[in-house]
Every structure is written in structure tokens, then in C-alpha cells.
């Protein structure tokens, strides 16, 4: 009768309900970082550089838009200010145009010595007010005729003028800044046709007095 050696035919205890495969150790599952990591050796700075370039491009576009809007706003402000000044000048010019006949009466009264007493005080106050509004009078005898600021109502010839000249101011002109409200109404004189200008006569006289030309 043979003796059985204990331990050789015995199998390890396996828990109830477990399969033999469960008894073998399994490989550990990869971590989340390893699963998310892309295959290959990719440089992470490449993606950051691309994003940075996009941000810089967007910033440059927004900066250009802001500069354009600022320039348009500045142009708008200048245009509004220019229009405001123009409208003000037109309004003042229209008002003063209605007062010019009164100023003409004041001027005629002054020429005839009738500007006295209370009438003189009122006239001077009126002239002070219109001067503060920018009204300027122009037009003097002896100045060259300028069709842009003078209106010739009378015409004559004179031997003592070398160019068309204002010889009488019939009505003074008025302006506000560079805007002419009313041209000066004048009488003009032109050089006598065929007459030698006075300057040429004086030069000729000087030559005669000096004994004429010298012979060499």
C-alpha cells in the first residue's frame, strides 16, 4: 500500500465564484495624463506661439479701428466748430445789414455837423456796439480801385492819376472779418487817354534838367 505525499495533489484555495483568470495579476490601467498625452514627442510651445500670434493680430486690428474712429471724431468736431462759426457770422452779418442805413444816416449827420446832443450819444453808442460785433468800415479817397471791395457809381478821367483810383467815397463799405457785407460805393477816375502819366512827366523833367544824355 502506497503512501500519498501530502501537498503535491492539492490545489490552492480559490474563492467561491471566482474564475481562474481572476487569480492572475492584471497590468495597471494607464493614468489620465498618459491617456491624454498625444502620441509622439510634440512641442507644447508651438500651440502657444500660434495662439499668441492670433492675439497679436486681433490686437493690431482693434488698435487700427480705434485710431480710425478717433480720427473721424476729431474731423467731426472740427467740422461742427467750423459750421458753428460760419452760422454765427452769417447771423451777425444779416443783422448788421439791416443797421447799415442807420449808420449811413449817422455818417451824413456827422458830415453836416448835425451830430449833437442826445443824438450824438445814441449814435456813438450804436457805433460802439456794432464795432464789438466785428463790423469794420473801409473805403478811403485816393486808394486804388478794387472791384472785389469797391462798387463804382461814377466814372471820370483825370490827368493826375496813374491808375484807376477812388476819388470820392459815396458810401463807405463794411465787412466782418474777411466777409464783405457791403462794398464801398465810390467815384473813380482813370488816367486821361493819351496823356503822359504824371510819374513819366516827372522823370522826363528830371532828365531835361540834368542836361540830357552825355556823349562819350
**What DSSP assignment string belongs to 38-87?**
PSS---HHHHHHHHHHHHHHHHHHHHHHHHHHHHHHHHHHHHHHHHHHHH
Rg (CA), the chain: 53
pLDDT in the model for residue 109: 93
211, part of any domain: no
pLDDT of residue 172: 95
What range does the domain containing 125 cover?
Answer: 46-133
Q: How many domains does the chain have?
A: 2
Q: Tell me whether residue 195 is in a domain.
A: yes
What's the CA gap between 97 and 182, in Å, rounded?
A: 8
Place of cell 490686437: 59
3-class secondary-structure state, position 111: helix
Residue where a domain terminates, one of 74, 99, 133: 133
C-alpha span between 140 and 44 (Å, rounded): 88
Cβ atoms within 10 A of the Cβ of 13, count?
A: 6
Same domain, 94 and 140: no
Which pTM was predicted?
0.56
CA–CA distance, 180 with 149 (Å, rounded to integer):
7
Question: What pLDDT score does 206 carry?
Answer: 53
Does residue 121 sit in the same domain as residue 64? yes
- The DSSP secondary-structure symbol of 13 reads P
Along the 216 residues of the chain, how does pLDDT read in single tens digits?
444 545 445 555 555 554 545 545 554 555 554 554 454 456 678 788 888 888 999 999 999 999 999 999 999 999 999 999 889 888 989 999 999 999 999 999 998 999 888 899 999 999 999 999 999 999 999 999 999 999 999 999 998 899 999 999 999 999 998 889 999 999 999 998 876 555 445 555 555 555 544 443
Which cell numbers hold the place of 122? 445814441
Helices 117-132 + 44-111 axis angle, to 10: 160
Whether residue 158 is contained in a domain is answered as yes
pLDDT at 23: 46
User: Are 82 and 108 contained in the same domain?
Assistant: yes
Question: Residue 82 falls within a domain, yes or no?
Answer: yes
Amino acid at each position: 500500500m502506497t503512501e500519498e505525499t501530502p501537498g503535491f495533489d492539492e490545489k490552492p484555495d480559490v474563492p467561491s465564484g471566482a474564475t481562474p483568470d481572476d487569480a492572475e495579476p492584471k497590468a495597471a490601467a494607464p493614468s489620465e495624463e498618459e491617456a491624454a498625452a498625444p502620441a509622439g514627442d510634440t512641442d507644447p510651445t508651438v500651440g502657444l506661439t500660434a495662439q499668441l500670434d492670433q492675439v497679436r493680430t486681433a490686437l493690431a486690428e482693434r488698435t487700427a479701428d480705434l485710431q480710425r474712429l478717433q480720427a473721424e471724431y476729431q474731423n467731426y468736431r472740427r467740422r461742427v466748430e467750423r459750421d458753428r462759426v460760419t452760422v454765427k457770422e452769417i447771423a451777425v452779418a444779416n443783422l448788421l445789414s439791416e443797421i447799415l442805413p442807420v449808420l449811413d444816416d449817422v455818417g451824413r449827420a456827422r458830415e453836416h455837423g448835425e451830430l449833437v446832443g442826445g443824438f450824438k450819444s445814441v449814435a456813438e453808442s450804436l457805433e460802439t456796439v456794432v464795432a464789438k460785433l466785428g463790423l469794420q468800415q473801409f473805403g478811403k479817397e485816393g486808394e486804388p480801385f478794387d472791384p472785389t471791395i469797391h462798387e463804382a457809381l461814377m466814372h471820370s478821367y483825370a490827368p493826375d492819376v496813374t491808375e484807376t483810383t477812388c476819388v470820392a467815397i459815396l458810401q463807405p463799405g463794411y465787412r466782418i472779418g474777411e466777409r464783405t457785407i457791403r462794398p464801398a460805393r465810390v467815384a473813380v477816375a482813370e488816367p486821361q487817354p493819351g496823356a503822359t502819366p504824371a510819374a513819366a512827366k516827372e522823370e522826363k523833367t528830371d532828365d531835361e534838367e540834368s542836361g540830357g544824355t552825355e556823349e562819350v
